[in-house]
Amino acid sequence: MVSSVAPTAGAQSKSPSHPGKAPSDNNDAPSMMGATAPTDARGEVVEVHGSRHTAVGGGMMTHEDAAKSRSTVTAEFIAKQTPGLNPMQLIQYLPGVNTTSVDPLGINGGEMTMRGLNQSQIGFTLEGFPINDIGNYAVYPQEIVDSENLRMINVEQGSADLDSPHISATGGAVDMYLIDPTDHFGGTVDGTYGNYNSRRIFGRVNTGFIGNTNLKGFVSFSAADEHSWRGPGDQSKLHGETKWVNAWGNGNVISFSLIGNQSESTLFPSMSLANWKKYGAYYTYDAKWNPKAPDANYYQLHRNPFTNIYASAPSTFTLTDNLTLTETPYFWYGNGNGGGAYNESLTSQQWGAQSLTGSIGPYNASNTKSMLLYNPSNTQTYRPGAVTKLSLHTGINRLTVGYWFEYSKQLQTGPYSLVNMATGQPYDEYGGGPNMVLSNGMTAEYRDTLTQTRIHTMFIDDSLSLLHGRLTIEGGLKYAVVDRDGHNFLPDTSTGPYIHGSWQEPLPAVSIRYKINDENQLFASSTTNFRIPMNTSLYDSGTYKQGVGYTAKANADTKPEISISEEFGWRYQGPLLNSTLSYFHYNFTNRLYTQTLIDPSGAIYTRSINGGGSHADGVDFEVGTRPILYHLRPYFSAEYVNARTDSNVGAGNGDYVFSKGKFAPQTPKYQLAFHLDYDDGHLFGGFGLKYVARQYSTFNNDQSIPDYLTMDVNAGYRFKDVGPLKAPTLRLNLQNITNNHYLGFVHGTSANALPTTGVYGTKIAGASTSFDVAAPFFVGGTASVDF
């Protein structure tokens, strides 16, 4: 509820009568070079005094001292949006951020770019631990967190902090922090209903301090469901979270967070431009099943079940007056898939170079020639790790050294399993069986790999504060060592069954910040980051053809992506208005893009392709005010970016397209956002607008999606307390109020979409690209109350 105190990262609610004390927010707190853990991050405390809500821009800006671009949304803004929106949806108005959600509540996922760099290049953390997939670095925002439990989301447009636990953050970071448990017993309940039969409930209970201890916690639960707006099926999820904090002494705090998520969605097919022109937004899977004519496009064969468990225990200890230890151990578990179905011949199968027959259940080559089989892409991940950091404060100097270690195991399989011909549903959503078995006794798989990744990252940072704190100079170095051992269980692969990859990279960073006065500051920074290739680059997979090999071939020699970014900015933070203007430049070497491949059977694969070098120059701007006339708080952000490809990109046939100097794909040249908040303590409302320029889908700039404009509205009323019920609230949220149907995101890029002539004169056929269709108009009503 927005009527409650919403502390930011590092701030703890305090009770003078209780012995437990939380860490103080002082000038010795970690800086932009190492502030990812929630127990040491700094931020502005957003408080409500009586009926006045005074946060800048309605909770879309905070006081900021980082020597780089960083934007923030706080609990006050989040609490007025549709409950349960995923984090990508909540940061859509911030400068440089381009997000697309394929369903109104964000249960089916979403996509994001920032300054033209996609989500696999952006490091996501929650409570200090990494969220990105360890194999392909994708982010599935619907799995992360309930919006009611978010205290703030920090968006770092140019670079992640040195202590940020990522091997893929070449394009910035998004750090999310949970609220802290309250000192006293209480809680929150809310319920939402909207079109597409959308329903969601949420409840949270705070224990308060337990007995005469410093320990306090909360437990929350939510359940959501919505019908698909594109075709048949629905999306649903169950989500639970708990956080416990024990703070004592001067700056000692142990916290523990556990998040569990169970999602079940009907996938939406990505859209080609040809299908968009032919069918519009409603190109989708089939709603009806005909047992006499089995159809691979039946929606029940395209489900997305997934289970996640995240655990993190970020803790900070004051060892001496000058020495602080921060420890963030974590564990990441995920298991699920994206379903698909294909017609398979039981009389003609391949086990590598061996030609065999197949059988499944009562069906074999003697009684069945071909049949429709369910073929999910299963992924199971185990991922423990820890970030350790030691900071020495000696007057005007602060020295930090740290170490991040992680060991992950990721199993990825693609079995063929039996479909219930009466209903069209797989007998096992996870492809557990009955499975197709080849005549040599082996289970048929289109992929079958085990990837083990070991990460050793050391970092050191030194900060010097001069001129009575007005000038801060900071320099740091991260040295990353990443080893990957892969085992491909498929036979006759081009790289053999065992593959080893090793990458070592020094990553320097430097920054400077100068406070002209209490309101104006200048900053500059330069950072280096890298991203190793996706684990799928290690393996052959797909269909084996004699003399050709597998459809998707390994590219184990792919070099890591290297980025060097610079920023120069001015920040004004006055009593009424906050603003930031920054110029940025980045250079990429071995820029890695995701390419979508379609097997002749219809199976879809992705792989990394080397786009060569690229560079970009751009300007970000944001401005917001505290309440002005009639309690209004406007916020505005804008970005201009000129991103160019520096190389001719390979077309896959030994030739290259003329892409050098052309505009980079997946990058809108302009973005504009505006949000106006009204809040008099009881009545509140908001209007948001977002404009995104066109985005190319090819390096040859011969295909693009047009620009688009969306608008959202919210309104609500907080009633007076009724006995133990505090601030009962009714609110209405409307998304995409013009019901604009548009392609919002370039999902898969290619060298060229139309036939062209290559650098060496070869005729190059066009390759299809794919897009995500954005969510339509949505209206939802919510009732909520604290107790």
Taking only the tens place, the pLDDT of each residue in 286-329 is 999 999 999 999 999 999 999 999 999 999 999 999 999 999 99
Tell me, what CATH number does 776's domain have? Answer: 2.40.170.20
Range of the domain at 768: 186-786
**Burial (0-12, 13-18, 19+ Cβ within 10 Å), 603:** buried
Q: Would residue 570 count as lying in a domain?
A: yes
Q: Is residue 361 part of a domain?
A: yes
Kindly state whether residue 202 falls inside one of the protein's structural domains.
Answer: yes
As a whole number of Å, the CA-based R_g of the chain is: 26
Identify the CA nearest to 169 among candidates 224, 125, 199, 214: 125
* pTM, to two decimals: 0.92
> In this structure, is residue 748 part of a structural domain?
yes
Q: Is the pLDDT of residue 203 over 70?
A: yes
Q: Are 584 and 600 in contact (CB under 8 A)?
A: no
The total of structural domains in the chain comes to 1
Nearest to 604 by CA among 781, 423, 342: 342
pLDDT at 558: 82
The C-alpha atoms of residue 187 and residue 204 are separated, in whole angstroms, by 5
Residue whose pair of structure tokens reads 């604009």 in the numeric block: 740
Residue 104 within any structural domain of the chain? no
Q: Cβ atoms within 10 A of the Cβ of 403, count?
A: 14
Q: Which of 308, 319, 307, 253 is nearest to 129 (CA)?
A: 308
Sequential DSSP letters for 738-766 = T----EEEEEEBBS-SS-EE-TTS-EE--
Question: Nearest Cα to 110, choosing from 100, 97, 123, 125?
Answer: 100
Q: Give the model confidence (pLDDT) of 47-67 as tens digits.
A: 433 335 889 999 999 999 989
Q: State the average pLDDT over residues 225-245.
A: 96
Confidence of residue 343 (pLDDT cuts 50, 70, 90): very high
Instruction: Convert the pLDDT of each residue in 103-121 to its tens digit.
Output: 999 999 899 999 999 999 9
Residue 658 has pLDDT above 50, yes or no: yes
Confirm if 612 and 622 have CB atoms less than 8 A apart: no
Contacts of residue 583, Cβ cutoff 8 Å, sequence gap at least 6: 567, 568, 569, 617, 618, 619
DSSP string, 538-562: G--EEEEETTTEEEE---TTPPPEE
A 10 A CB-CB count for 641 gives 22
- Does residue 653 form part of some domain? yes
Q: Is residue 38 part of a domain?
A: no
For residue 403, tell me if it sits in a domain: yes
Contact 160, 137 (CB under 8 A): no
Q: Is 769 helix (H, G, I), strand (E, B) or coil?
A: coil
CA distance 456 to 99: 32
Give the rounded percent of residues in the chain with a pLDDT score beyond 90.
81
